[in-house]
Structure 1
Amino acid sequence: MFLQKIKPFLYLGVFYLIISLIVRIIFFFHPITTTSFGFFEIIKILLIGIVNDSFVFVLTCPFLALYFLFLSDSKYQKPYGHIILGVLMLLFLYILLIPNNIFKQYGGSIAEIALAFIGLKIIFFGLMLFLPEKRIKIRNTLYFITVFLYVLLIVFNAVSEYFFYNEFGLRYNFIAVDYLIYTNEVIGNIMESYPVVPLFLGIFAVAILITLFIYRKTKNELQELPNLKQKLILLGSFVALVGISLLGLNFTTKIKPADVFEEEIQANGLPKFYWAFTHNELDYFQFYPEINEKQAERNFLSQFSEPKLQRSITSDQPELKKNVVLISIESLSADFLQHYGNKQNLTPFLDSLADQSLMFTNLYATGNRTVRGLEALTLCIPPTAGESIIKRENNKNKFTTGSVFKSKGYDVKFLYGGYSYFDNMQDFFAGNGYGIVDRNNFKPEEITFANVWGVSDEDMAKKAIQTMNAEAKSGKPFFNHWMTVSNHRPFTYPEGRVDIPGNAKSREGGVKYTDYSLRKFFEMAKKQDWYKNTVFIIIADHCASSAGDTELPMDKYRIPAMIFSEGFIKPQKFTKTMSQIDVMPTLFGLLNFNYQSKFLGQDIFKKEFQPKAYVATYEDLGFIKDNYLTIISPVRKVKQYVLTQQKNMQAPDFNIYFDETNVPAPNQNKKLVEETISAYQSTSYWLKKNQLNR
């Protein structure tokens, strides 16, 4: 009898395990998975995966369990049925009419969801109360809907995990949380990037077929409803299984293989999503290796000529109040440029501009999201665990590149073709003294093309020129930071600009169109009076992809960057390893600025400069120096890799790939481990104590 009553759970559970197994097998053979696994490794991954999936399924069943627990005919008897219906109606009126009810205090759509749920509950409860002869039919309908929703969510989650892995080579993480929060942009992006209608029709068709199968196999269990004793047994069993699953997941999620793909394939996406949702910021001092704080600060600050956090930067040359335009290009990997060995001619303008610029040929992004790139270029500090500072609550009044320019009398603005509320950019830049020009500032006639991410780079280029012309008329120098948007999925842009159609939704097309737009921008800029007194910095925010064999694959962080100014910047190539956080301190050095600095990046032309770079994900914090990559991770883990340079003879000055060879713990370079810990520990401490504020 007990097994009969839990048949719906068993069928749904088996279906969930089968779907999860199929997804896992697809991940094994996905082109993005570059690791090869042996037979026993595959068996181990699948076994751990099945255990993870079983625990997760149990934890997703409370609503189904509650549904069965509340199945009863006695509640419709007088006077209970009328009392319950009255209570439900009062609750509905409370949510509908009371302005500050408890549901509305949570914000968002909680009140509307509660209102819809209670409204449906009233309708179905009333039908079953007043039409007892139809009760079994109504109950069966509700049961079918309940099973259908579970099956639909299982299928939808599997498809979502596939597309997320297809994009990032990972299960759900902070990016998936962003996708849940910024629904307008994300849903728009999905609608424009994928064949949504056939995809959703397929999902619904599969869900209906599976639901019909489970429904027919289990509907007879509703003919005889469980009594109180059976319900107590079911409840006790479920509570015990939940407890076991929580303990089990706490153990299995801590199994961290050496290979990133192995870790991701054996994992279940839902616990990773929950963890990301609840951990916007990781406490460095709780999760990462530490040394004495004073020693960490001394180690880190020893790279500067004045070894303290706030330093006086002075020049023996007169300051140059040139206009500065910083252009952050969305998702522009170094290997899109011909200079780095690309043969597709995707960036003819940027390649030609690089020959006239100070080009940094061995520069690494700090992360793999736009907000990380903006953080690196604005705050000039190493990345810290968790979300970018841009997305944290305590993100205002920081010491920024904008604050340095403002202290010199500059007009400071952030330019963005989309709505800058996305990724909290508006809150961050406005909170740090930047004026903002975004899609809200466009008149309808100024937009020739737009997609979900914003107006085309071409339209933004025209708006940027318009903005800079207005600033130049004020007599003040200006600093404008422009973040491009077109080189982002769905990669749509106006027709006829490049030789790849705008509706092809091609990444290569997105790169070509952004290059085309930048050419148009410079063609317009050259006609302006302010052009010859302006310095342009062109740099990617991050690479197009972050997936690789190791936690921090080096080739997925290497980005192009250059500083260009006719008659001022001498064309040359700087080939030493450097970080995104070094770019703006270097620019201030070129302008001979005198200022009080809290930047943690270095001017690369100072004699004390140490070639190095910081690279990170949300959890793994890496430090590149002396041909080593040292990584510190939660649970105080330390890994180290030897980096072997291999030059591509098609582009010998640029295209350097790195083989990453794991160094066993006893053989690790302890000095570099300490330097890594010192850098990230000190940065986290100074942020925590607000010492990086203005």
Structure 2
Amino acid sequence: MLTKIFPARYALLRAFVLIFLSISLVVRGILLVWDFQETDTGPLSLVWTFVVGFVFDLATLSFFVIPYLVYLVLVPSKWSGSLLDRVLTFFGFFLGIFILYFSFLGEFTFWDEFHRRYNFIAVDYLIYTYEVVQNINESYPLPLLIGTLLGLVAVTFWLLFRFGVFQRTFSTGTHFAQRSLSAVPWLVVMVLSVFLLTNEQAEWSSNRYNNEISKAGIFSFFAAFRNNELSFPDFYMTVEHKEALARVKNELAMDGATFVHPDADEILRTVTPTDSIVLDARPNVVFICVESLSGKFLKSFGNELDLTPNLDSLAEESLFFTQLYATGTRTVRGMEAITLSIPPTPGRSIVKRVDNAGLFTIGEVFEQKGYERNFFYGGDGYFDNMNSFFGGNGFNIVDRGRGFLMDKSILTKRTNIDDDEVTFENAWGVCDEDIYNKVLKEGDRAYGEGHPFFDFVMTTSNHKPYTYPEGKIDIPSGTGRNGAVKYTDYAIGEFLRKAKGKPWFANTVFVIMADHCASSAGRWELDVQNYQIPALIYNLPQKNTGNINNLCSQIDMFPTLFGLLGWDYISNLFGKDVLQMRPEEERAFIGNYRKLGLLKGNQVMVLGDQKNANFYDWDPSDNSLKSIPTDRAFLDEAISWYQVADFLYSNGGLKLRD
């Protein structure tokens, strides 16, 4: 049977198939051991994990081998072993085996960061090669990795020569009919894979780790490449449009809002303060979006390592939000939630989409009040499309540009962080202290010009490779996440200490919130605990302090601030003033690029992209989800929020009006 599928001329192809399947099996086994405690290790679950994995491995293999099969079928037998045949074969095999080893080794670094097979994040990283290569170089011994790859390739070639694989490939002719017949099974597998197999079919278990281990990394990568934007009505459960819009507008009207066009398919409305101590206060606002700061790092949330003494102290002097959840698992998703105040739309973040300029953002509310708006980033804002998004929505850009300039027609002003302003820099940009020093300098300028400013500051130090200036804290640079968290906290403390010496400090509000948690990994469909982030508002005009224990979302932070400042404003935001919410209104939106969740109390509804939905009881004590019968009213509410958000974005409902 094997001689029919793999005649002598196909000896090298057979060797490649065996190498691929063997290594894939080893990788799957290592990932299983890596997170063994999180995985469902029941006998049937383990068997099915590897059976499903084998199916996806075969599908991936079929795409690899078809080009070589076409070559083998079309090249006449008399040319076998010729110089041209040898050159093309050696080059093609070298390229294929190098990609194979590179992909499998890369899966370990990706799993270390995300505990997932390749997904849309890996696709995005291909675009931003400078930051990614630098990050890998600073996080891992890159020369050793490349040397290992080349060594593996060399050993593979040596073994194949040793066992005569190349000799059989070049010395034996095979009739055209036999060559063609041997290619048929692989062609069938490829066709079936294209039309019948989807990456979602690997998600057969309620345990996310089993699902991820079942997948094939390369297959997952190309599936993500093809499906990084999803149409909500095509992939998700829906309700009648007018019903969904009415439900959302009814929720938003509870803030005392008045809709500008009550009968239109929009949520544009006038928001009037209902219970504010001050009216129309216009302090400067500095918003610090902290990279990957999970709530679990703070002593305020039970951490005993004393990693965040400054933030913990600040929490006692601020309005501190104890039940606030990020909408997603990436920086651009956090930026989307904060600036647009919108539930996460499926697929990639709006920040990274093409038609994302001229939208109604929180910056527009500040514009209504006469503020200058600035976006600060310690790296090159070209990364993740940040400059295009913020510049296209009215923000001045302050970043560490490396020459990738955006369309100047949509940019008010771009200011570079100069070399003499940098004390430390890694792959992701300057250290947090340096970006804060730039914020102070720009604050002095704006104060001197006599106008209020709103600064959106994106930090970078709490990101792999976790490097920062030496001698600042008691944990050596580059030794891990805890050190990066502690340095991040130290830099915030130093920033506020310096800011207190500025003439504009007394009239400046500081808002601090994470973009997302340090890890989204978990065994559940959506790992609720890995969305909880810290958030606080410090130095309000009325000096409000205390814990805000309402369940709320990232999208609610700035509507809450606007309420505290007593602002009457036009809004196209989905977020609400947390302090005006009734208990039954409290909710949080959590999701990834495919799963969309609504959390209310300890119940969570998860919408899937197969037009399905799962309803769970969440146990905060162990972070587990227990399936419960679907509540139709809860399901319709969840669908409505996401359906309306997607509809408004897709149909221009989030655009600014003249």
The TM-score with structure 2 as length reference comes to 0.91
Structure 2 residue aligned with 1:148:
94
After superposition, give the CA deviation of every residue in 1:634-653 in whole Å (9 maximum; x if it has no partner). Answer: 1111111112344xxxxxxx
Cα 1:341–1:424 shift into 2, 3 Å: same
8 Å CA contact retained: 1:412, 1:479 = yes
Whole-angstrom distance in 2 between the partners of 1:255 and 1:502:
39
- 1:498 paired with 2:466, answer no
Structure 1 residue aligned with 2:559:
585
After superposition, give the CA deviation of every residue in 1:215-235 in whole Å (9 maximum; x if it has no partner). Answer: 432432212444544454455
- 1:461 paired with 2:429, answer no
Give the residue type in structure 2 aligned to 1:662.
S
8 Å CA contact retained: 1:416, 1:438 = yes
Whole-angstrom distance in 1 between the partners of 2:169 and 2:268:
72
- 1:400 paired with 2:357, answer no
After superposition, give the CA deviation of every residue in 1:361-383 in whole Å (9 maximum; x if it has no partner). Answer: 01000000000111111000100
Whole-angstrom distance in 1 between the partners of 2:372 and 2:199:
54
**1:182 Cα deviation from its structure 2 partner:** 0.8
Cα 1:359–1:275 shift into 2, 3 Å: same
Whole-angstrom distance in 2 between the partners of 1:598 and 1:54:
49
**1:29 Cα deviation from its structure 2 partner:** 1.2
Whole-angstrom distance in 2 between the partners of 1:319 and 1:354:
25
Whole-angstrom distance in 1 between the partners of 2:513 and 2:427:
23
Whole-angstrom distance in 1 between the partners of 2:324 and 2:200:
37
| Partner SS state of residue 420, structure 1 | coil
Structure 1 residue aligned with 2:626:
661
Cα 1:262–1:580 shift into 2, 3 Å: same
Give the residue type in structure 1 aligned to 2:42.
G
8 Å CA contact retained: 2:319, 2:537 = yes
Give the residue type in structure 2 aligned to 1:618.
Y
Greater mean deviation of Cα atoms: 262-271 or 29-38: 29-38
- 1:168 paired with 2:114, answer yes
Cα 1:6–1:607 shift into 2, 3 Å: closer
Whole-angstrom distance in 2 between the partners of 1:251 and 1:321:
50
Give the residue type in structure 1 aligned to 2:589.
Y
| Partner SS state of residue 502, structure 1 | coil
Higher Cα Rg, which structure: 1
Give the residue type in structure 1 aligned to 2:626.
T
- 1:314 paired with 2:272, answer yes
- 1:632 paired with 2:594, answer no
8 Å CA contact retained: 2:198, 2:223 = no
Greater mean deviation of Cα atoms: 1-10 or 412-421: 1-10
After superposition, give the CA deviation of every residue in 1:275-308 in whole Å (9 maximum; x if it has no partner). Answer: 2112231100000001111111112222223475
- 1:31 paired with 2:6, answer no
Whole-angstrom distance in 2 between the partners of 1:10 and 1:356:
68
The aligned runs of 1:41-190 (5 Å cut-off) are 41-69=45-73, 71-72=75-76, 136=82, 139-190=85-136
Greater mean deviation of Cα atoms: 11-20 or 556-565: 11-20
| Partner SS state of residue 605, structure 1 | helix
- 1:194 paired with 2:168, answer no
**1:28 Cα deviation from its structure 2 partner:** 1.2
Structure 2 residue aligned with 1:111:
none
- 1:364 paired with 2:325, answer yes
- 1:676 paired with 2:647, answer no
Cα 1:645–1:161 shift into 2, 3 Å: closer
Whole-angstrom distance in 2 between the partners of 1:224 and 1:307:
82
- Which of the numbers 595, 600, 624 marks the counterpart of 2:569? 595
**1:65 Cα deviation from its structure 2 partner:** 2.2
| Partner SS state of residue 96, structure 2 | helix
Whole-angstrom distance in 1 between the partners of 2:151 and 2:397:
46
**1:310 Cα deviation from its structure 2 partner:** 1.5
Whole-angstrom distance in 2 between the partners of 1:219 and 1:551:
50
Cα 1:318–1:380 shift into 2, 3 Å: same
Structure 2 residue aligned with 1:537:
511
| Partner SS state of residue 302, structure 1 | helix
| Partner SS state of residue 25, structure 2 | helix
The aligned runs of 1:261-660 (5 Å cut-off) are 261-304=209-252, 305=254, 306=257, 308=259, 309-315=267-273, 318-440=279-401, 441-504=416-479, 506-565=480-539, 568-608=542-582, 610-646=585-621, 658-660=623-625
| Partner SS state of residue 303, structure 1 | helix
**1:31 Cα deviation from its structure 2 partner:** 3.4
After superposition, give the CA deviation of every residue in 1:72-126 in whole Å (9 maximum; x if it has no partner). Answer: 58789xxxxxxxxxxxxxxxxxxxxxxxxxxxxxxxxxxxxxxxxxxxxxxxxxx
Give the residue type in structure 2 aligned to 1:416.
Y
**1:442 Cα deviation from its structure 2 partner:** 1.8
8 Å CA contact retained: 2:52, 2:202 = no
Whole-angstrom distance in 1 between the partners of 2:203 and 2:473:
48
**1:552 Cα deviation from its structure 2 partner:** 1.1
- 1:693 paired with 2:655, answer yes
Cα 1:521–1:250 shift into 2, 3 Å: closer
- 1:242 paired with 2:220, answer no
Structure 1 residue aligned with 2:412:
none
Unaligned runs of 5+ in 2: 260-266, 402-415
8 Å CA contact retained: 1:418, 1:438 = yes
Give the residue type in structure 1 aligned to 2:239.
I
Whole-angstrom distance in 2 between the partners of 1:567 and 1:380:
24
Whole-angstrom distance in 1 between the partners of 2:192 and 2:158:
31
Structure 2 residue aligned with 1:116:
none
| Partner SS state of residue 38, structure 2 | coil
8 Å CA contact retained: 1:298, 1:307 = no
Greater mean deviation of Cα atoms: 545-554 or 205-214: 205-214
**1:605 Cα deviation from its structure 2 partner:** 1.6
Whole-angstrom distance in 2 between the partners of 1:11 and 1:475:
73
Whole-angstrom distance in 2 between the partners of 1:691 and 1:245:
38
After superposition, give the CA deviation of every residue in 1:552-575 in whole Å (9 maximum; x if it has no partner). Answer: 111100000000006633210001
**1:32 Cα deviation from its structure 2 partner:** 7.5
**1:466 Cα deviation from its structure 2 partner:** 0.4
**1:143 Cα deviation from its structure 2 partner:** 2.6
8 Å CA contact retained: 1:495, 1:501 = yes
- 1:219 paired with 2:167, answer yes
Give the residue type in structure 2 aligned to 1:526.
K
Cα 1:461–1:607 shift into 2, 3 Å: closer
The TM-score with structure 1 as length reference comes to 0.86
| Partner SS state of residue 253, structure 1 | helix
Whole-angstrom distance in 1 between the partners of 2:282 and 2:44:
65
Give the residue type in structure 2 aligned to 1:450.
E
8 Å CA contact retained: 2:529, 2:620 = no
- Which of the numbers 191, 200, 204 marks the counterpart of 2:150? 204
**1:136 Cα deviation from its structure 2 partner:** 4.1
Whole-angstrom distance in 1 between the partners of 2:627 and 2:195:
32
Whole-angstrom distance in 1 between the partners of 2:78 and 2:12:
23
**1:385 Cα deviation from its structure 2 partner:** 0.4
8 Å CA contact retained: 1:55, 1:248 = no
| Partner SS state of residue 322, structure 2 | strand
Give the residue type in structure 2 aligned to 1:153.
I
**1:236 Cα deviation from its structure 2 partner:** 4.8
Whole-angstrom distance in 2 between the partners of 1:229 and 1:337:
69
8 Å CA contact retained: 1:253, 1:267 = no
**What number of residue pairs does the alignment pair up?**
622
8 Å CA contact retained: 1:333, 1:544 = yes
Structure 2 residue aligned with 1:99:
none
Give the residue type in structure 2 aligned to 1:166.
D
